[in-house]
Amino acid sequence: MFVLFSGLGYVISCTRDNDTIVPIEITQPFVATRGNHVHLPGTMTTGDTTQWKLDKVHSSVLWSGAYIGAAGLLTGRFNQFGMHDVLPAEMQNYVTAGQPVLDSSWAFYESDPSKTYFSGYVQINTSNTGEPGRDAGCNIGNLGTVPIVPGTQNLTDTNLAQIKSTHVEFDPESNGYLVRLNLTWRGKLTATHTEEVLGKLSYVPQAVPEGKNYSVFGLQLTFQFDKSVFGIVSTSIGDNISIECNMNFNNK
C-alpha cells in the first residue's frame, strides 16, 4: 500500500509540473484619452467664434474649511472674481456692475500643457457664506479687508487674492493636469505675500449645447492653502482651506 500511494503521489506531482500558472492582473495601467483642443481668448470680440469668453454667470469660485470642534465644513463662495493678471496700476476701485478688467489672462492647449497658463483673482470682501451678518461683520475684519461699496468693484491691494500658474503638466493618473501656482494675498500681513501651492486642473471638452448655435467648454481647478501663512487667525475654521474654481467658457 505504501508503494502504491507513493507512486500515485509522484504521478500527480509530475502532472502539476506541466501546468501553466498565469498571474491575474488586478488593475490595468491608466491610459489617457486626450484630444487636441486649443482655446484662446483673443480680444474676446462678441460674435467671433475663434475667441473664447468667460461665462462668469455660470462659473464659480468656492471655498471650504473644517469647522473647529465639529465634523462638518464651513463653506462659501466669492461673488466677484475673474481671469486677469491684475497689475499694480490696475489695483483700484472700478465703478461698474460688470467685470472691471478683461478675462483674458489664460490659454489652454489640451495636448501641450507647456503652453497652458492662467491667472485669476477674487475680491475678498465678496466672500458669501449665505449668512449676511457674518459676511459683512466678522469676516471683513478677520480677512483684513473692507466692506463692500455698492456699485464698486474693489481690486485694491488689500481686497485682492490672486493665483498665477507657473507650470502645467500631464497628470499620469487621469486625463487632467498637475499645476504649480503662485498664490498672492495680503490677508492680515503688512504687505502682500506669495506662496507656491499645488493644484489639479480638469478639462471639460468642447461641445455644442442642445438647441444652441455656439460651443462651450469648462476648466476646473482645485487646490489648498494654509490661511495662517497669510496672518489669518480664527477660532471657527481650521488652517487648511480648499478652493474649487469652476470656469465655464463660450464662443458666442
The total domain count for the chain is: 1
Residue 210 domain-assigned (yes or no): yes
Residue 28 domain-assigned (yes or no): no
CATH classification of the domain holding 189: 2.40.128.110
Q: Is the pLDDT of residue 21 over 90?
A: no
Residue 7 domain-assigned (yes or no): no
pLDDT-derived band of residue 234, with 50, 70 and 90 as boundaries?
Answer: confident
Q: Determine what percent of the chain is predicted with pLDDT higher than 70.
A: 90
Residue 9 domain-assigned (yes or no): no
pLDDT of residue 22: 67
Q: Give the residue numbers spanning the domain of 239.
A: 37-250
Cβ–Cβ < 8 Å for 95, 151: yes
> Other C-beta atoms within 10 Å of 49: how many?
12
Residue 6 domain-assigned (yes or no): no
Residue 63 domain-assigned (yes or no): yes
Residue 43 domain-assigned (yes or no): yes
Buried b (16+ CB within 10 A) or exposed e, 93-111: eeeeeebbbebbbbebbbe
Q: What is the pLDDT of residues 148-186, one digit of tens each?
A: 999 999 999 999 999 999 999 999 999 999 999 999 999
Residue 135 domain-assigned (yes or no): yes
Note the pTM of the prediction, 2 decimals.
Answer: 0.87
> Other C-beta atoms within 10 Å of 75: how many?
13
Contacts of 73 (CB under 8 A, 6+ apart): 64, 65, 66, 67
